[in-house]
Amino acid sequence: MTASSLRWAKALPLSAKIGLIFVLFWLAVAVFGPMLAPYPVGAFVAYDVFDGMSAQNWLGSDYLGRDVLSRLLSGARYTVGLAAAAALLASATGTALALTAAVGGPKVDEPLSRFMDTLISIPSKILSLVLVAAFGSSLPLLLLIAAVTYVPGNYRIARALAVNLAQMDYVQVARARGEGRFHLALREILPNMIHPLLADFGLRFVFIVLLLSGLSFLGLGVQPPDADLGSLVRENISGLGEGALAILMPAFAIATLTVGVNLLIDGLKGKRA
């Protein structure tokens, strides 16, 4: 298993290898970060705010004199975990509905597709703002908002793929064999759309990271004293003028995570073509 995944990684183009390293790094931070953090998330450890690098605070201190490294290590978990969970939920739901539409015929397809069009026409940021304002911010709600926002997009792509595949001869043969819809959708159609769907999953992941960071930036995301990468940027915004590490590091973290995922996806697509 490890040997084969190593071989798989070796066959990737250079850019994808770089992406893979970024992605693995951030996954590791998400899992082990809080254990490695030198200080608790909310602890005030430095007397100076927006301090530079020092032996006590490797990445300096933030606007309240907290350790930036500790806050970053603890915050990455929210961004990576929440975004991955939401992207998975959105892709699974979208694809399941798309397969239902593809094998269900026009009577299922039409209402479902029009419903998705309706969802698509609601601006995602506004929808999230309204929902957070109405129900208050909580992790499950953030997860749900992010997932619901990106289901229609995934549905559109998956449906386009599935409807095309449903016309393929091998699906016609399976229909003429008397196979049920479940078999058609899961065994005949789904395996042939996995690669484009993986690429789509990566894209959605990046969008969701940005959406959550944006919400946090507005103060509607993860609530203090916990903070995801987006809220780290927002709370330290006053340090922007002096180029404090407290704002540069979380911004850099978001950048490497999203760029890494994108590089990896592009590499996967290239490998397939």
Partner 1 sequence: MTAHVEVKGLCVTARNAAGETFPIVSDIDFSLKRGEVLALIGESGSGKTTIALTLLGHARPGAKIAGGSIRVGESDLLSLDAKGLAALRGNRIAYIAQSAASAFNPSRTIMDQVVEPALIHHLMPRAQAEKKAVELFRALALPSPDTIGSRYPHQLSGGQLQRLMAAMALVTDPELVILDEPTTALDVTTQIEVLRAFKAVVLERGATAIYVSHDLAVVAQMADQIVVLNQGRIREQGLADQVLHRPADDYTRTLMAAARPAIRPAPRQADLPSAPLLEIRDMTAGYGKIGKDGHPRIPVLRNINLTIERGATLGVIGESGSGKSTMARVIAGLLPPAQGEVLLNGEPLPPGLKGRTREQFRRIQLVFQNADTALNPAHSVGEILSRPLGFYHGLKGNAARLRVLELLDLIRLPATVIDRRCGGLSGGQKQRINLARALAADPDLILCDEVTSALDTVVGAAILDLMAELRKELGVAYMFISHDISTVRAICDDILVLYSGDMVEMGGREGYVHAPFHPYTDLLIGSVPEMRAGWLEESGAARSLPLIGASADETELCRFLPRCAARIDGLCNITPPPRHALHKGNNILCHHDEAVLTRLQNLVA
CB-neighbour burial class of residue 40 (10 A; exposed 0-12, middle 13-18, buried 19+):
middle
Binding map of partner 1 across residues 153-172, x = CB under 8 A, - = no contact = ---------------xxx-x
User: Given candidates 106, 140, 178, 241, which one binds partner 1 under the rule CB under 8 A?
Assistant: 178
Residue 188 and residue 171 in contact, taking contact as beta carbons nearer than 8 Å: yes
Structure tokens at 70: 């500790």
Asked if 176 interacts with partner 1 (CB under 8 A), we say yes
CB of 89 to partner 1, least distance (A): 25
Stretch 5-44: interaction string toward partner 1, x if CB under 8 A? ----------------------------------------
In the complex, the smallest distance separating the C-beta of residue 168 from partner 1, rounded to whole angstroms, is 6
**Amino acid identity for residue 7 in this structure:** R
Q: Quick one: tokens of 108?
A: 């299922």
Query: Least distance to partner 1 from the beta carbon of 271, Å?
Result: 13
* Spatial separation of the C-alpha atoms in residues 76 and 80, rounded to whole Å: 6
> C-beta of 105: minimal distance to partner 1 in Å?
11
Q: Please list, residue by residue across 201-236, b when 16 or more beta carbons sit within 10 angstroms of its beta carbon and e when fewer do.
A: bbbbbbbbbebbbbbbbeebbbeeebbbbbbbbbbb
Question: CB-wise, 116 or 171, nearer to partner 1?
Answer: 171
Could you tell me the smallest distance in angstroms from the CB atom of residue 174 to partner 1? Answer: 8
Residue 226 gets the label, from left (phi > 0), alpha (psi -120 to 50) or beta, of beta
Q: How far is CA 244 from CA 60, 63, 137, 224, 226, in A?
A: 8, 9, 28, 20, 20
Residue 175 as a binder of partner 1 (CB under 8 A): the answer is yes
Q: How many residues bind partner 1 (CB under 8 A)?
A: 14
| 266 near partner 1, judged by CB under 8 A | no
Q: Which of 38, 111, 136, 191 binds partner 1 (CB under 8 A)?
A: 191
Q: CA 103 to CA 244: how far, in whole Å?
A: 55
Which residues in 192-231 contact partner 1 (CB under 8 A)? 192
Binding site for partner 1 (CB under 8 A): 168-170, 172-173, 175-179, 187-188, 191-192
